[in-house]
Amino acid sequence: MSATKREEVSSHLRYIRLELREMHQMLIKDDLLPDLSEAKEVHAQLDALLELLSEKRTNKIKKQFGKF
C-alpha cells in the first residue's frame, strides 16, 4: 500500500474511532442512543474505507491477471 493510501486509511480510521468513542460515551453516561444521522455518518465512513481498500485489492488482482 502506498504511503498516501496508508495515510488516507489512517485518517479514516482515526475519525471513525473518535465518532464511535463519542457514541459509546453517550450510551454509558447518559443512557442515550446516538442520533440516527451520526450512526449513518459513521456507517458511510466505514463504507468509504471499505471501498478504498477494495479498490486497491481489485487493482492488484487486475494487474496480476490482466495478461491472460
SS (H, E, C) the chain: CCHHHHHHHHHHHHHHHHHHHHHHHHHHHHCCCCCHHHHHHHHHHHHHHHHHHHHHHHHHHHHHHCCC
pLDDT at 62: 56
Amino acid 67: pLDDT: 53
Answer whether residue 51 shows pLDDT above 80.
yes
User: What is the per-residue pLDDT for 68?
Assistant: 46
User: Which residue range(s) make up the domain with 27?
Assistant: 3-65
- Total structural domains in the chain? 1
In whole numbers, what is the pLDDT of the chain averaged over residues?
Answer: 77
What pLDDT is stored for residue 57 in this prediction?
55
Task: State the pLDDT at residue 8.
Answer: 82
